[in-house]
Amino acid sequence: MTRYFTKEHEWVDVEGDTGTCGITSYAQEMLGDVVFVDLPAPGRVLTKGGDAAVVESVKAASDVYAPVGGTVIEVNADLEADPALVNTGAETGGWFFKLTLSDASELDGLMDEDAYKAFVATL
């Protein structure tokens, strides 16, 4: 499995043609305590960089963008019952959705973990 990051602070773990997506720990820290997550419906077709979900915290509401395009095949139902999972595991158990990638070449413009850490260090 390979993990990629966007400049908007989303991540995607890719295994075969399936991507698991969420927000980074950095994004969660900037948002503060997450209190609600609005996830995309299974079957929804997402485009790279397009709106995918909404996350609300005690500070603000923020859009979550699709790091790659594809069709949503699963959402993290645990987040609907306990959105605080994002606070304790933004890059693990707090994942948002899984999708089938529509074009694997879209991964080419994303960062690996080292590049993302270097990017965050400049913020």
> Is 85 among the domain residues?
yes
Q: Residue 97: which domain range?
A: 2-102
> Is 113 among the domain residues?
no
> Is 31 among the domain residues?
yes
pLDDT for 22 equals: 98
- Mean pLDDT taken over the chain: 96
Q: DSSP assignment of 10-69, as one string?
A: EEEEEETTEEEEEE-HHHHHHH-SEEEEEPPPTT-EE-TTSEEEEEEESS-EEEEE-SS-
Is a pLDDT exceeding 90 seen at residue 5? yes
> Is 120 among the domain residues?
no
pLDDT for 60 equals: 87
> Is 93 among the domain residues?
yes
Distance between CA 45 and CA 80 in Å, rounded? Answer: 20
Number of domains in the chain: 1
pTM of the full structure:
0.95
Identify the band that residue 1 occupies on the pLDDT scale cut at 50, 70 and 90. confident
Task: CATH number of the domain at 34, please.
Answer: 2.40.50.100
